[in-house]
Amino acid sequence: MSQYKKFINVRTGPGTRLKGRKVAIIVAHEFEDVELLYPFLRLSEEGAEITIIPVPIGLHPRPAVPAKPVTGRYGTPVPMEVFGEGVRYVMKSLQEVKPDEFDAIVIPGGFSPDHLRVSDRVLEFVKKAYETGKIVAAICHGPQVLISAGLVKGRKVTAYAAVKDDLINAGAIFLDEPAIRDGNIITGRVPDDLPEFCGLIIEALSRC
């Protein structure tokens, strides 16, 4: 029992490596649920302040109903029912925020990036964040947004295999690795690589 208590004591308090850092996670319908949830929990565990920005475009077909909250492929809604808004995170619309308010932008995968990449407002937001030196991180299909924002030419990146040809055609240097940082761009391959992906984000934010 004493060993169990010791373990609990180690894990209860939040980390401090990202204390004061502000991270925005941008999602549209059909995002990959774990690619929102894992970075949200891991980065907040290190002390980051998380803002989730749902962009109500695209459809979630199970069922598709008017005014449905932005929902992940496996049913996670935003706002998230099991985490209290204002406790672990805040939720804001894209119209309420500016890129310079954040230290990092995270773009989960799934079908969400296919919707986000056709939004001029999203692309402008991501591009301005990049141009001002913010960390721009995308995983799985997320680099589709980086392609449309014109940010991958000459950059070493990774992504889900289905995005490989698109990245190469956009001038990126594609590497089949769990996660890669090239300058202020961080990319991850698939959900299994979330630990490495988030590790690079934490490392980058803790040093900037």
Active site residues: 141
The rounded Cα 174 to chain-centroid distance in angstroms is 20
Tell which residue, 178, 175, 125, has the closest CA to residue 152. 175
The string of DSSP letters for 90-127 reads EE--GGG--GGG-SEEEE--BTHHHHHTT-HHHHHHHH
Taking the C-alpha atoms of residue 171 and residue 111, their distance in angstroms, rounded to an integer, is: 23
Task: Tell me the β-bridge partners of 54.
Answer: 27
Taking the C-alpha atoms of residue 96 and residue 41, their distance in angstroms, rounded to an integer, is: 23
Q: How many CB atoms lie within 10 A of CB 190?
A: 18
